[in-house]
């Protein structure tokens, strides 16, 4: 079977597709690509169905060798791209002859780059997905040097010769995220709620695909020491542990948690968060909880 070979795996490169939606009742996170728009566009440009599996790199990129003729799109975080040492275009289809080596260099802006191959990648699936899940351990392990990953059949639609824009330009400096308040807003002091609208936080170096740990003003609980029974959470939840330093949950988030969630951000903010490096400043634009008697 035709495949790619991992020559340089980088600090963390994983296989990611659309994830495992629908298994939260069994404590299985959704997983999947952290920056969904970038992953989706890379597949589209490679001529793949939007749900195809691709490589997701972290900061340092990766190097692969093709063992069949294949088209590759390197998108997501901008980086240098070379084939057998010769410069190629980032963000558009690159033809890779069998035996040649493609290098995706370190991210110049953002965190995660995506390598989409025509036909998609086909590592062993778990619960209907090829995605690596760092929390549960489901799916293929993070790739390492010398690994081989099968390629799927060439797609019916040819790759699109379209230059890819960089919508995340400037993401490393500051992000402003709309935050839908709740469901546990009443667990926090009035000062904590006010701080959400005026404070800013920075992304900790201890962040990963599970979540961004934020450093900044403490969001104090109204009743310190009060315990909350574990309840379901979703990607984009802003959970606040007792120390008041919030955690913004990402693709590999746990399905339940015992600390209150003060608000939830939407998919666009999650995609931006996936490209936020340590030190990135984050501010929130709170959206109040609507009252049932309010009319549009």
Q: What is the pTM of this model?
A: 0.93
In a domain, 155, yes or no: no
The pLDDT score that the predictor gives to residue 164 is 54
Residues 130 and 190 grouped into a single domain: no
Residue 37 sits in the same domain as residue 126: yes
Specify if 161 maps to a domain.
no
Do 193 and 134 sit in the same domain of this protein? no
Task: Tell me, yes or no, whether 264 and 140 share the same domain.
Answer: no
Is 13 exposed, middle or buried (CB count within 10 Å of its CB: 0-12, 13-18, 19+)?
Answer: buried
Over the range 122-150, which residues count as b (16 or more CB within 10 Å of their CB) and which as e? bbebbbebbbbbbbbebbbebbeeebebe
23 and 141 together in one domain: yes
Residue 230 structure tokens = 């574990």
- The reply to whether 37 falls in a domain is yes
* 294: in domain: no
Residues 43 and 108 in one domain: yes
Judge if 120 and 207 occupy the same domain.
Answer: no
Query: How many alpha carbons lie under 13 Å from residue 172 in its C-beta half-sphere?
Result: 13
- 200: domain CATH number is 2.40.100.10
Domain membership of residue 165 (yes or no) is: no
**CA angle, residues 170, 55, 111, in degrees to nearest 5:** 20
How many domains does the chain fold into? Answer: 2
Strands 3-8 and 62-66, sheet pairing: antiparallel
- Asked if residue 156 belongs to a domain, the reply is no
How far is Cα 135 from Cα 132, in angstroms, rounded to an integer?
9
What is the domain extent for residue 223? Answer: 174-287
Residues 68 and 146 in one domain: yes
- What is the CB neighbour count within 10 angstroms for residue 260? 21
Q: Say if residue 191 is in the same domain as residue 103.
A: no
Specify if 158 maps to a domain. no
Q: What is the pLDDT of residue 159?
A: 75
Same domain, 90 and 213: no
- Residue ending a domain, choose from 89, 115, 150: 150
Mean pLDDT per 10-residue segment, the chain (296 residues): 93 98 90 95 89 97 97 94 96 94 96 96 96 96 98 80 52 84 95 94 97 97 92 96 97 95 95 94 92 54
Question: Do 10 and 143 reside in the same domain of the chain?
Answer: yes
- Give a yes or no: residue 293 inside a domain: no
Three-class secondary structure of residue 67 per DSSP = coil
Last residue of a domain, one of 150, 166, 189: 150
Q: Kindly state whether residues 115 and 202 are assigned to the same domain.
A: no
């Amino acid at each position: 079977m035709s495949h790619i070979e991992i020559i340089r795996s980088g600090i963390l490169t994983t296989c990611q597709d659309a994830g495992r939606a629908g298994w939260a009742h069994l404590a299985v996170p959704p997983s999947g690509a952290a920056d969904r728009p970038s992953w989706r566009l890379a597949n589209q440009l490679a001529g793949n169905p939007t749900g195809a599996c691709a490589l997701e790199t972290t900061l340092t990129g990766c190097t692969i060798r093709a063992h069949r003729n294949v088209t590759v799109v390197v998108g997501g975080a901008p980086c240098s791209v070379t084939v057998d040492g010769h410069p190629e275009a980032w963000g558009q289809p690159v033809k890779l002859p069998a035996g040649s080596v493609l290098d995706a260099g370190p991210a110049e802006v953002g965190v995660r780059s995506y390598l989409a191959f025509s036909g998609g990648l086909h590592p062993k699936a778990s619960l209907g997905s090829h995605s690596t899940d760092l929390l549960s351990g489901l799916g293929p392990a993070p790739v390492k040097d010398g690994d081989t990953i099968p390629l799927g059949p060439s797609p019916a639609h040819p790759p699109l010769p379209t230059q890819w824009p960089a919508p995340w330009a400037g993401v490393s400096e500051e992000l402003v995220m709309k935050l839908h308040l709740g469901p546990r807003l009443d667990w926090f002091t009035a000062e904590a709620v006010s701080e959400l609208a005026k404070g800013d936080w920075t992304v900790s170096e201890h962040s990963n695909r599970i979540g961004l740990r934020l450093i900044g003003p403490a969001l104090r609980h109204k009743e310190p020491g009060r315990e909350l029974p574990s309840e379901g959470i979703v990607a984009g939840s802003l959970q606040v542990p007792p120390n008041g330093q919030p955690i913004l949950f990402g693709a590999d988030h746990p399905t339940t948690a015992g600390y209150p969630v003060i608000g939830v951000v939407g998919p666009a903010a999650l995609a931006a968060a996936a490209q936020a490096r340590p030190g990135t400043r984050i501010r929130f634009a709170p959206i109040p909880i609507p009252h049932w008697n309010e009319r549009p």
